[in-house]
Chain A
Amino acid sequence: MSSMEVSNATIETLSTLFAENKRFDGRKLTDYRDLKVSLDVSNCAEGSARVILGKTEVIVGVKMAIGEPYPDSPEKGNLSVSADLLPLASPRFEMGPPKFDAIELPRLVDRSIRESHIINLEELCVKPGEKVWTVMIDIYPLNDDGNLIDAAVIGALVALKNSVIPGLDENGKVDYKHRTKKKIPLAANLPLSITLYKLGNSIILDPTREEQEACETKLNIGLSNLNGKHMIHSCQKGGDVPFTQKEIESMMEILPAKYDHLIEKLKKFL
């Protein structure tokens, strides 16, 4: 592998290019890379998806289990999202306790899914106060070339949409070999993540790893289209450099068309 850190010379070049609405790979600043999705990565998962965004590849699986509800929501199922930045996927990922990126990624995915209320957790209650379904979404990058977060949310959405609930045996235990035809109860709105990155005065979407490391600040947005309106469900700024109000306003203008563009590409999986 080439050097791990992006050089100042590269950052300067990128900065100049961005100012001319150009990128190394020929895209415009707000273009996404080629998106490819496929289903059924593992037949042991309740649902799974593989997302390829340029050279970034992420697989996401959904597992379900019966557990106890949280005391403050006795009649609701649970959702948990995890991500493991496998050292397989990048020379930057190492074994050992998770670093900040590995902690932030599943939290951002969790919020974009949870806050959209796409999963009807009430319907996942088996016995109020005692038994509920837990939906576990697990994210594994297989190759990190930037923008894992947007790819991961796409994977989570597609995997959820294509998951079936496993059967229960007579004792109420999960029988994973018995697949029902029942899908996870989902609302009509479809959450996605769109993350905007800033270098100098330029805002870019779907950065490669090199671009992502060169950028100073990012804004992660979780959004969906609810009754014809684009609604933002979650948002998180990361990085030291602030966004100006004007930048925030112009970023908000980009979102609806980008959202619709991505959903259009995912249509046959949703």
Chain B
Amino acid sequence: MVEKFKRIDGRKLNELRPMTAKVGVVPNADGSAIFSFGNTIAIAAVYGPRLLHPQHMQDSQKAILRVNYDLLSFSVNDRKKPGPNRRSQEISKVTEWALSPVIDLKQFPNTVIDVQIYIIQADAGTRTAGINAASMALAHAGIPMADLVCSVAVGKQDEHIVLDLNKAEEDFEEGEGATDFPVAKLANSDEYTLLQLDGNIPSNRVKEVLAMANSACKDIYEVQKNALKEFVK
């Protein structure tokens, strides 16, 4: 059964889309990176740590991580009205939570670290591509980090667990339909910093999802690391 299931683009069930990554793409920024999963392209820039204004928002004990995620208007088929909406605000927040555990915020009291993430071309998996880009951009900015964060969406089509869904796969409607299960984790431990889910999945299959994510994150980590090393060269 499972073996016969064919994915729309012919990938194996546990196969990521081709990845590309590069750091140092926004000269003005303190750190920046571009990351893509297939046709999904995310660019991220980091500004800071810099003094946070207004003053009453400052935390005298640590830096504040502030993430802004959004889609460019022409990154999707139906033009997205420019500017934040509820979806982008939610993704910004969960991305903050995904990244903050690895950053040594205590080193920079009263400051803000701004992470700007924009999706240039969207084909599903935009938040995960954004987190991968942001994680590299933070490292590129020289901000002390305990680890890199790697992120990927695991999905389910009917009853098949598949890795890194594209848009056509996300719109799958047969059987149990499509489930989108984006996760982020630290590269070198099994701590997960993002878990979201839309769709339906039996609770006893979550461990399959995590196993698939875990092995995919190793590949993502290599791509991130290589891009950072490439820059240092």
Which chain B residues border A44 with CB–CB below 8 Å? Answer: 74-77, 121-122
Tell me whether B26 and A89 are in contact (CB under 8 A).
Answer: yes
Residue of B nearest to A42 (CB): B121
Residues of B within 8 A of A176 (CB): 77-78
Distance of A63 Cα from B71 Cα, bound (Å)? 14
> Is A82 close to B, CB under 8 A?
yes
Select the stretch in A138-146, A192-200, A248-256 that faces chain B.
Answer: A138-146
The verdict on A222 contacting chain B, using a C-beta distance below 8 Å, is: no
A residues near B (Cβ < 8 Å) are 1, 41-46, 48, 55, 57, 59, 61-63, 65, 82, 84, 86-91, 95, 136, 138, 140, 142-145, 176-177
B77: shortest Cβ distance to chain A, in Å?
Answer: 4
| B28 within 8 Å of A (CB atoms) | yes
A88 touches B45 (CB 8 A): yes
Measured in the bound complex, the distance between the Cα atoms of B9 and A228 in whole Å is: 50
* In-complex Cβ contact of A62 among B29, B74, B75 (8 A): B74
- Are B79 and A136 in contact, CB atoms less than 8 angstroms apart? yes
Q: Is the CB of B43 within 8 A of A88?
A: yes
Q: Considering only CB atoms, which chain A residue lies closest to B115 in the complex? A: A88
Instruction: Please name the residue on chain A nearest to B29 by beta carbon.
Output: A88
B27 within 8 A of A: yes
> Across the interface, do B47 and A87 meet the contact criterion of CB distance under 8 Å?
yes
Would you call A145 and B28 a contact (CB within 8 A)? yes
Q: Is the CB of B79 within 8 A of A42?
A: no
Beta-carbon nearest neighbor of A136 in chain B: B79
- Tell me if B145 counts as interface (CB < 8 A to partner A): no
Bound CA span A48–B118, Å? 16
Q: Among B47, B68, B77, B82, find the residue whose CB has the most chain A CB atoms closer than 10 A.
A: B77
Give the contacting residue for A91; candidates B47, B73, B75; CB below 8 A: B47
CB-CB nearest in chain B for A137: B74
Q: Does B58 contact A (CB under 8 A)?
A: no
B84 to A, closest residue via Cβ: A95
Cβ–Cβ contact B78 & A41, under 8 A: no
Chain A to chain B: the 7 pairs with minimum beta-carbon distance, closest first: A61-B74, A176-B77, A45-B74, A88-B116, A63-B79, A42-B121, A88-B45
Contact, CB under 8 Å: A1 / B30: yes
Of chain B, the residue at the smallest CB distance from A59 is B120
Q: 1/0 per residue B102-145: CB within 8 Å of A? A: 00000000000010111011100000000000000000000000
